[in-house]
């Protein structure tokens, strides 16, 4: 299992990015979460088999049609304690 913490910047709030990421992660069977941050970025935790995490991470660089991704800060992370992929409240 591979777990990654992401901070995604650009035009990523108000364009359906979180819902898009929930759908993409669930389609690949990933665990984790996504949420908006008050600094304008989207934060996410992706966890699952390495090929699935890599596929979603690659898709995150494009995002949904209305989004513009400028950068993704990626770091190793601990696996979430719960199965499933969720949208969390903003922080």
In order of their start, the domains of the chain are 2-79 (3.30.70.100)
37 catalytic? Reply is no
Nearby residues of 44 by Cβ (< 8 Å), 6 or more positions away: 5, 6, 8, 21, 32, 33, 34, 35, 60
- Residue 1: pLDDT over 90: no
Active site residue 23: no
Tokens of 67: 């989004």
Per residue in 12-62, pLDDT (tens digit) is 999 999 999 999 999 999 999 999 999 999 999 999 999 999 999 999 999
Site of tokens 């910047």: 9
Whose CA is closest to 9, among 34, 46, 37, 42?
42
Catalytic option among 4, 23, 35, 36 = 36
């Amino acid at each position: 299992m591979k777990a990654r913490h992401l901070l995604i910047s650009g035009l990523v709030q108000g364009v359906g990015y979180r819902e898009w990421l929930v759908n993409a992660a669930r389609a690949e069977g990933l665990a984790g979460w996504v949420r908006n941050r008050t600094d304008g970025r989207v934060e996410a935790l992706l966890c699952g088999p390495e090929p699935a995490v890599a596929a979603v991470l690659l898709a995150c660089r494009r995002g949904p049609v209305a989004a513009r991704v400028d950068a993704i800060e990626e770091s190793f992370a601990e696996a979430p304690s719960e199965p499933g992929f969720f949208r969390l409240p903003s922080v």
